[in-house]
Chain A
Amino acid sequence: MSSMKDSLAELFGRAPRRPHSDEISAEAKKLHALQKNDPDRIAAIHAELAHAATHKMPQKWRRRRWAVLIAVNLLFVVSYWLDIQLLEGALTGSRFIGFHMADLNSALQVTLAFKHMVLNLVIGTITVFIMWWLLGGRTFCSWVCPYHLVAEWAEMIHLWLVKKKLVKDHPLDRKARNWSWMIFAVLAIVTGYTVFETVSPTGIISRALIYGPGLAMVWVFLLLLFEIFYSRRAWCRYLCPIGLTYGLVGATSPFRINYHLESCFHEGECRKVCEVPHVLDTVIKGRATGLNASIGADCTRCGRCVETCPTDSLTFKFKGLGDLL
Chain B
Amino acid sequence: MTKQKRVVSKRHQQQERRRFLRSAAMTAGLVAVSLLGYIPVVKGWVSRLRPPGALNEDRFLASCIKCGQCVQVCPVNAIKLMDLESGFGNGTPYIDARAQACDFSCDGLQCVLACPTGTLTHDLNFPADTRMGIARLDNPGKCLAMQGKGFKGQARGADYQGLLRYDEIDRWNPIRVSEHPYDLELCDLCVRQCPIEIRIAQCAEAEPVEGKIERVAQKQGNECPPIHAIALEKVDGVMMPVIKEGCVGCGVCEMICPPEPAAIVIDVHPDREERRA
Q: Determine if chain A interacts with chain B.
A: yes
Binding site for B on A (CB under 8 A): 80, 88-90, 92-95, 100, 102-103, 106-107, 110, 113-114, 116, 118, 120-121, 124, 170-173, 175-176, 179-180, 183-184, 187, 191-199, 203-204, 207, 210-211, 214-216, 218-219, 231, 234, 238-239
Q: Sample 9 A-B pairs with CB under 8 A, ordered by A number.
A: A93-B66, A95-B116, A110-B65, A114-B117, A172-B19, A192-B276, A193-B38, A199-B30, A238-B27
In the assembled complex, how far is the CB of residue B79 from the closest CB belonging to chain A, in whole angstroms?
A: 10
Q: Does B217 have its Cβ within 8 Å of any Cβ on chain A?
A: no
Give the residue name and chain of the B residue nearest to A109 (CB). Answer: B65
Give the residue name and chain of the A residue nearest to B59 (CB). Answer: A114
Residues on the A chain within 8 Å of B33, using CB: 199, 219
Residues on the A chain within 8 Å of B209, using CB: none
A89 contacts B68, CB within 8 Å? yes
Q: Does B207 have its Cβ within 8 Å of any Cβ on chain A?
A: no
B85 contacts A215, CB within 8 Å? yes
B67 contacts A94, CB within 8 Å? yes
In whole angstroms, what is the CA distance A173 to B22 when docked? 8
In whole angstroms, what is the CA distance A218 to B85 when docked? 11
Residue in A90, A95, A110, A216 whose CB lies within 8 Å of B62: A110
Q: When A120-B118, A198-B87, A239-B30 are in contact, do A92 and B65 touch as well, CB less than 8 Å? A: yes
In the assembled complex, how far is the CB of residue B144 from the closest CB belonging to chain A, in whole angstroms?
A: 35
A195 contacts B35, CB within 8 Å? yes
Interface of B (DSSP majority class): helix
Q: Does B64 have its Cβ within 8 Å of any Cβ on chain A?
A: yes
Binding site for A on B (CB under 8 A): 19-20, 22-24, 26-27, 30-31, 33-35, 37-38, 41, 58-59, 61-69, 71-73, 81, 83-85, 87-88, 90-91, 114, 116-118, 276
**A121-B65, A171-B19, A194-B66 known; 15 other A-B pairs, CB under 8 Å?**
A89-B116, A90-B66, A90-B68, A92-B91, A94-B67, A173-B19, A176-B23, A176-B26, A183-B31, A193-B61, A193-B62, A198-B34, A198-B88, A216-B90, A239-B26
A114 contacts B84, CB within 8 Å? no
In whole angstroms, what is the CA distance A251 to B88 when docked? 31
A121 contacts B26, CB within 8 Å? no
Residues on the B chain within 8 Å of A195, using CB: 34-35, 37, 88
A93 contacts B117, CB within 8 Å? yes
Q: Which of B61, B73, B90, B276 has the most CB of A within 10 A?
A: B90
In the assembled complex, how far is the CB of residue B67 from the closest CB belonging to chain A, in whole angstroms?
A: 3
Q: When A176-B24, A180-B31, A239-B26 are in contact, do A214 and B84 touch as well, CB less than 8 Å? A: yes
Q: Which of B20, B59, B61, B116 has the most CB of A within 10 A?
A: B116
A219 contacts B23, CB within 8 Å? no
A110 contacts B68, CB within 8 Å? no
A92 contacts B66, CB within 8 Å? yes
Q: Which of A114, A210, A239 has the most CB of B within 10 A?
A: A114
Residue in B20, B22, B66, B84 whose CB lies within 8 Å of A215: B84
B61 contacts A234, CB within 8 Å? no
Give the residue name and chain of the B residue nearest to A173 (CB). Answer: B23
Residues on the A chain within 8 Å of B41, using CB: 193
Residues on the B chain within 8 Å of A238, using CB: 23, 26-27
In whole angstroms, what is the CA distance A192 to B37 when docked? 13
A198 contacts B116, CB within 8 Å? no
Q: When A172-B26, A176-B24 are in contact, do A194 and B88 touch as well, CB less than 8 Å? A: yes
Residue in A88, A124, A199, A231 whose CB lies within 8 Å of B34: A199
Residue in B61, B84, B87, B118 whose CB lies within 8 Å of A218: B84
Residues on the A chain within 8 Å of B67, using CB: 89-90, 92-94
Residues on the B chain within 8 Å of A210, using CB: 68
Give the residue name and chain of the A residue nearest to B85 (CB). Answer: A215
Residues on the A chain within 8 Å of B276, using CB: 192
B84 contacts A198, CB within 8 Å? yes
B83 contacts A110, CB within 8 Å? no
Give the residue name and chain of the B residue nearest to A93 (CB). Answer: B67
In the assembled complex, how far is the CB of residue B48 from the closest CB belonging to chain A, in whole angstroms?
A: 15
A176 contacts B64, CB within 8 Å? no
In whole angstroms, what is the CA distance A102 to B61 when docked? 17
Residue in A113, A197, A234 whose CB lies within 8 Å of B91: A197
Residue in A120, A170, A184, A203 whose CB lies within 8 Å of B66: A203
In whole angstroms, what is the CA distance A121 to B24 when docked? 34
In whole angstroms, what is the CA distance A92 to B70 when docked? 13
In whole angstroms, what is the CA distance A215 to B83 when docked? 6
Q: When A110-B64, A180-B27, A183-B31 are in contact, do A192 and B58 touch as well, CB less than 8 Å? A: yes
Residue in B38, B88, B118 whose CB lies within 8 Å of A121: B118
In the assembled complex, how far is the CB of residue B147 from the closest CB belonging to chain A, in whole angstroms?
A: 40
Residues on the B chain within 8 Å of A203, using CB: 66, 91
A102 contacts B116, CB within 8 Å? yes
Q: When A102-B116, A120-B116, A172-B22 are in contact, do A183 and B27 touch as well, CB less than 8 Å? A: yes
A207 contacts B26, CB within 8 Å? no
The 8 closest A-B pairs by CB, nearest first: A93-B67, A118-B118, A173-B23, A214-B83, A216-B84, A89-B67, A113-B62, A93-B65
